[in-house]
Amino acid sequence: MQRLRIADHKIFHAGGRDFLFLAEDNAIFELDADIRQLLTRCACQEELGRADIFAFIEGDTKSAICHSLVGCRVLINTDARKGECRSPALVPLKTLVLHLTDACNLACHYCYHSRKRGTSASQASMTLEVAKQGVDFLLEHSGPLKDVVLVFFGGEPLIRFDLISAVVPYALENAREKGKTVSFAITTNGTLLNERIIRFLYDNRMSVTISMDGSEETHDRYRRFPDGSSSYRVILPKVRELFCRTWEKPVVARVTLAQHPGNLSGMLESLLGLGFSETGFAPVTTQDGEYQLNDGAMTLLLKQFEMLAEKFLDIALKGGFLGFTNLIDLLVTLHEGEVKNYPCGAGLGLFSVAPQGRVYLCQRLTGEDRFCMGDIFGGFDQRKIEGFRSEAEISRKPICKNCWARVICAGGCYHEAWIRQGDITRPNLHYCEWIRDWTEIGLQVYGRLASEDPEYLDKLSALRGHAPMFDS
């Protein structure tokens, strides 16, 4: 006799309606009263037979309803293994981060590179030969993928604009010869932008992320030049020059939140007002109590995120768009039904290359020997990669097993786990409750949009928030 169990789930409310979020499948359904009653009454039962289920369903369609619930995985066979996944054996390389240099012209107090800066090793700079070999490595290991991504990172990557301007045409030509398309991205502090660089980034359709922390006072609190002078006053006119052009790809701002979240609504309004398509906020990754957001600050951050989510929803239901990256990312993940067995692509389809050519799990872990996964000359260390993938997979994190948000979070950032938990494969325990609360806010926004304007979610998923999709 078939035995069933109720799938891990969360019931939430949005716009006066009840919804069901399936924790194992990242699937969302609107609930009717009968199904909600069934889930409530059977919630504590580990096993159910069809007779048990029929007892809670009225009418003559019991068999059809039960079959439907099994089909959409609200009811699951008890012999189905819960939350287990095999480590992917072969994953084509999609994104390669070229870590051009650790050198930077700023002296940001909270920077995770600051503890390494000042040593000869940290000042190593990538040569053109290594950069070209990196491009070849990306194309060679991309397998059947037709579209690949090359990211320029640092330090401050624009210190090596000479290298960037040489690598881009090389990558374009070699990708074309192999029948592939390569796109480019860069993360920069913006201080070195000039007319020549802006034209180059624009002509090569590069995705640009600029690190700015809001208003002049907030930004300059921790992001200054080594002599203590303001970086905001240098960046501002350069950003304005950047937005004299209409960019095909969104130019986004990344805000690092240190010590206190500040006025996020004001920051967002200010940065979007400059011309940024989106702005994302991230608490600083550190063990230093001077910069770390404490529990009170994280609670305040959640309240401000909730206010911005309400503002986003209000604007969206009027056909507009608010470039709040954190919510957009969450909505797209929910809409596409992405089930995360890993928190990000690091060690899967994304790796980072250090100036000397060694390959690391991601840009934030570059330079740390324990996270080296080979080099671009001899290839991947497949044994180390497989070991990492096995240990990092969500089913290997017991504390995540019964968390309803596990396929959204998958344990959280590896770098954050290393700094705060001492092990990249451990979940970000310090953020667990916060992530669940934030995900629930996202579910409520999703439910309203799904009920009142489902096409809006399709727009977000299709273009990832490009402003041209929305009326201004």
Please tell me the predicted confidence (pLDDT) of residue 244: 94
Please tell me the predicted confidence (pLDDT) of residue 78: 72
Please give the average per-residue pLDDT across 177-200, as a whole number: 98
Please give the average per-residue pLDDT across 98-108, as a whole number: 95
Please tell me the predicted confidence (pLDDT) of residue 72: 79
DSSP element (H, E) containing 210: strand 207-211
Please tell me the predicted confidence (pLDDT) of residue 468: 41
> CA distances (Å), 239 to each of 109, 249, 326, 386, in order?
22, 15, 22, 42
Q: Do the beta carbons of residue 283 and residue 309 sit within 8 Å?
A: no
Dihedral, 450, 456, 462, 466 alpha carbons, nearest 10: -140
User: Does residue 46 or residue 12 have the better pLDDT?
Assistant: 12
User: Per DSSP, what are the bridge partners of residue 338?
Assistant: none
Span 359-388, pLDDT tens digits: 999 999 999 999 999 999 999 999 999 999
Task: Name the nearest CA neighbour of 326 among 383, 270, 296, 281.
Answer: 281
DSSP 8-state class, residue 86: P
User: What span, in angstroms and rounded, lies between the C-alpha atoms of 27 and 408?
Assistant: 11
Span 250-294, pLDDT tens digits: 899 999 999 999 999 999 999 999 999 999 999 999 988 899 999
Dihedral, 94, 95, 98, 104 alpha carbons, nearest 10: 180
User: What span, in angstroms and rounded, lies between the C-alpha atoms of 207 and 294?
Assistant: 33
**Pairing state between β 350-353 and 27-30:** unpaired
Span 415-458, pLDDT tens digits: 999 999 999 999 999 999 999 999 999 999 999 999 999 999 99
Q: What is the overall mean pLDDT for the chain?
A: 89
- CB burial of 170-194 (b: ≥16 within 10 Å; e: otherwise) equals ebbebbeeeebebbbbbbbbbbbbe
- CB burial of 75-90 (b: ≥16 within 10 Å; e: otherwise) equals bbeeeeeebeeebeee
> CA distances (Å), 56 to each of 11, 34, 48, 61, 63, in order?
18, 8, 11, 12, 12
pLDDT at 413 > cutoff 90: yes
Torsions phi, psi of 150, nearest 5? -115, 125
User: What span, in angstroms and rounded, lies between the C-alpha atoms of 450 and 456?
Assistant: 8
pLDDT at 472 > cutoff 70: no
Please tell me the predicted confidence (pLDDT) of residue 40: 76
Return the sign of the alpha-carbon dihedral for residues 356, 357, 361, 362: positive
Please give the average per-residue pLDDT across 36-52, as a whole number: 71
Look at the pTM and tell me if it is higher than 0.85. Answer: yes
Please tell me the predicted confidence (pLDDT) of residue 71: 78
